[in-house]
Amino acid sequence: MRWVKDIERLLELVKDLIDKGFTLSEILDDALESCGRLGLSDEFCRRFLGLLDEELERIRGVEKAEDGLRLRMFAAKAMEMQKAGKEVFRLELGEPDFSAPERAVEAAVQALRKGLSKYTSSIGIRELREAIASKLSEKYGVDLKPDNVAITAGGTLATYAAIQVLTKPGDEVMVIDPAWPLYAHQARRFDRRVVKVETSFEDGWNPVEKIVEKMTKLTKMIILNYPNNPTGKVLDRRSFEKIIEIAEENNAWIMSDEVYSDFSYNRRAPSILEYGYERSYYLNSFSKTWGMTGFRVGYVVADPEIARKVSMAQSTAMTCIPEFVQRAALAALMDEESAKRNVELVGRRLKVLYEELSKSRLIDVKPPEGAMYIFPKIRIDGFDSWDFAPKLLEEKGVVVAPGACFGRYDDHLRISAVLDEDRLREAIKRLREGLEEYAELRGV
């Protein structure tokens, strides 16, 4: 058949160029031009070449690190030690010690008593979608409708649905490191090609120049997360706008994870909703601002057709979000006082972390900007975050997240502002002691 021969010829062309030492990115334009001459659609060729490049990397032995998933097991070990009665200072997860507002708990209880525990719409109850649309419209000066909103099982399902709905196998998904590890993990589960943009402590974690370098015609989605987990970086408006320009030039989607949008301490974090970018996908969650991590409720804001597709993707995985959970979220959304109190509390704790970490000669740390984390750099030659963190837990009873969970950042640690100030000070005192002992063993 003719199309089989066309594919064979395309593979021969690509193999010949790669044998000459070129990378697929370097020959992409030539390969796409050859596709056109063969009569193959541009969209098909992009995806085909993306899958081909992924397979070539596998053959060459390029590692796809899944270090971030180890954090869950590490956290489980810390939890078991805690249950066994050992004093443990848990700073490894983004789970605040404050709980859901009382009015949210009461709303869930009342909903259960009324029997609101049956199946409901996969896109979410209208009252909650109306309230979210109204709140965001007022906050960002936009005109959102309930049809723009889909309720999801936390931010995790919202991310999962974005990759499924907005991209296809072979498409590139751009992840800005250091990053929440599930972005890359979920993309690979869907056979998307993950492109990492590595930012650094030294350059202030700004990604713009490196996004320009890494962007190709295969890139279909850029994932933004500001304020950022794990660095706490709040992107300035000029950089945010530049990224939107880059995406627009390349017809790429922007998935903007704004779970920490309330936790912005040096300036208000820009939102993708403010810019009217057509190919935008906003997500948020009730987990952080209202301390509702176990409720598993979040939401997506997008074009109505995309919101509908998100609800369809969710319905195949879990049918719907329980209505009593959504009623709790609706009550929380109206409790602005609790949200403000929680955000201010985390801000004070971040200042304590910065103050205590700054006392060590072995730690480089930047003033906190947002989110609920600090991501200091450790000044010990050959520092291995996965070697150090278990020792710190066993010897000092302090749990932090190894920097390697978030990309190639083995000389960093992520520390969460999730305990009261006295316990934070004690935990960081123990961390400083642990680092001094670790450095002494290495002759630093």
Tell me what percent of the residues of the chain surpass a pLDDT of 70: 84
Which pLDDT does position 61 carry in this prediction?
A: 47
Exposed / middle / buried, residue 304 (Cβ in 10 Å: 0-12, 13-18, 19+): middle
Residue showing tokens 């049809």: 147
Which pLDDT does position 5 carry in this prediction?
A: 58
Which region among 1-10, 158-167, 379-388 has the lowest average model confidence (pLDDT)? Answer: 1-10
Distance, CA of 284 to CA of 259 (rounded, Å): 4
Q: Residue 7 carries which DSSP code?
A: H
CA 48 remoteness from chain centre: 27
- pLDDT level of residue 62 (50, 70, 90 thresholds): very low
Which pLDDT does position 125 carry in this prediction?
A: 97
Q: What is the mean pLDDT of the chain?
A: 89
Distance, CA of 374 to CA of 381 (rounded, Å): 21
Residue 237 pLDDT exceeds 60: yes
Distance, CA of 259 to CA of 4 (rounded, Å): 46
pLDDT digits (tens, 9 = 90+) for 284-337: 999 999 999 999 999 999 999 999 999 999 999 888 999 999 999 999 999 999
Residue 205 pLDDT exceeds 90: yes
CA triplet 122, 126, 130: central angle to 5 degrees?
A: 130
Residue showing tokens 């947002």: 370
Q: Which CATH number fits domain 117-335: 2.40.160.40, 3.40.640.10, 3.40.50.1100, 2.60.40.10?
A: 3.40.640.10
Q: Residue 69 carries which DSSP code?
A: G
Q: Which CATH number fits domain 67-92+338-441: 3.30.450.80, 2.60.40.10, 1.20.58.410, 3.90.1150.10?
A: 3.90.1150.10
pLDDT digits (tens, 9 = 90+) for 263-277: 999 889 999 999 999
Are 67-92+338-441 and 117-335 in the same CATH fold?
no
Stronger pLDDT, 78 or 156, i.e. the higher one:
156
Q: Please give the average per-residue pLDDT across 56-79, as a whole number.
A: 65
Which pLDDT does position 217 carry in this prediction?
A: 84
Which pLDDT does position 169 carry in this prediction?
A: 87
Which pLDDT does position 63 carry in this prediction?
A: 47
3-state secondary structure of 61: coil
pLDDT digits (tens, 9 = 90+) for 23-33: 556 556 666 66
Residue 142 pLDDT exceeds 50: yes
Output 313-318 pairs: Cβ under 8 A, ≥24 positions apart.
313/160, 313/161, 313/164, 313/165, 314/122, 314/150, 314/152, 314/153, 314/157, 314/161, 315/122, 317/157, 317/160, 318/153, 318/157
pLDDT digits (tens, 9 = 90+) for 209-234: 999 999 988 899 999 999 999 999 99
**Residue 255 phi, psi dihedral angles, 5° rounding:** -100, 110
Q: Where are the domains of the chain?
A: 2-60, 67-92+338-441, 117-335
Name the pairing type of β-strands 298-301 and 149-152: antiparallel
Distance, CA of 365 to CA of 387 (rounded, Å): 21
Copy the structure tokens of residue 124: 């979410």
